[in-house]
Amino acid sequence: MARKNLLRNCVATLAVVHSALSYAQEFPSKPLFIQHGLAAGGQTDISIRVLADALSRKLNVPVVVQAKPGAAQAIAVAGVAKANPDGYTIGHFYQGAFSTVPLLQEVSYTLDDLSPIIAWQLSPQVLAVRSDSPLKNLADLVAAAKANPEIPFGHQGKGSVTFMAPTVFAKEAGIRLNGIQYKGDADTAAALLGGHIPTASITEVAAGPLLESGKIRVLVTYAKVRSPNFPEIPTFEDQGFKVPIQVPVGILFAPKNTPAPVMKKLHDSVREVIQDEKTKKEFATMKQVLYYMDSKSVRDLIDNERKTYYPILKDAGLTK
């Protein structure tokens, strides 16, 4: 009886494995959807669409990008977490959706509800002012904030680096800044240029054309080292401030229980795309930084970032 049960279990296991492999071989046979949590038309949206076009050519199926902004990516993350785990609906999110957003607000998901597929992109952020602003550097901002507390800055959601960096900097500098949330880079930059806010926390890619055209000035880049695209922009440390900020990493996720062979096919396809010379040239033209990290490294990044930021946010009275 024991042998019969063992044999029956082995046969069942082999059937499941064979079914998963067959599914992966046929996958994808219909359009793929990539959802993200920032505004359509912003730099994240544009970069994902470039990736999607290249991935579509690789997989021979349409790859459709859907923007579902709101709640610092949390709305889109929750939607992907509830999607059918068949590989046809995946999400693009930055690590803050899992490391810091859950510390700041109630969310309906955890990292265990999704499986990281691959990290493929970096998105450095900066703090910008209009070119006619009297603020030339962070020292000027500190002096202005001490004279007039609650200077506004635009950001893309609590928990995002666009919120975290100015907030942690303000605590380090002993000043108060007032965060105002926008749906994405385009809205934040428009508010800055329109004079609705004096400072804007936006991606380097969004800032680039405005900086080169002379419309804005950038006070600081949120990175440990200066950007190769804009080496003239100083870091926090260059200006005497210790702000432990991670550059946002663009990561693709699938719902948990997505078959391992499908996860591997998605991972391998995206990795091949970002290693392709044509894709590299497209992203270089946009001053975008391609990057690779496997799923285990993604989990380690999120865990380490959560541990780093929790005491900072708690001490600042920002935790939920």
CATH code: domain of residue 162: 3.40.190.10
Number of domains the chain is built from: 2
Q: Are residues 109 and 255 in the same domain?
A: yes
Q: End of a domain among 239, 274, 290?
A: 239
* pLDDT by residue, tens only, the chain of 320 residues: 556 665 665 555 554 554 555 556 799 999 999 999 998 988 889 999 999 999 999 999 999 999 999 888 999 999 999 999 999 999 999 999 999 999 999 999 999 999 999 999 999 999 999 999 999 999 999 999 999 999 999 998 888 899 999 999 999 999 999 999 998 888 999 999 999 999 999 999 999 999 999 999 999 999 888 998 899 999 999 999 999 877 999 999 999 999 999 999 999 999 999 999 999 999 998 888 899 999 999 999 999 999 988 988 888 788 98
Q: End of a domain among 239, 262, 294?
A: 239
Q: End of a domain among 239, 261, 281?
A: 239
Q: Tell me if 92 is assigned to some domain.
A: yes
Q: What is the extent of the structural domain holding 47?
A: 2-119+248-315
Q: How big is the CA angle at 28 (ends 26 and 32), to the nearest 5 degrees?
A: 165
Q: Are residues 143 and 213 in the same domain?
A: yes
Q: Are residues 57 and 13 in the same domain?
A: yes
Q: Tell me if 320 is assigned to some domain.
A: no
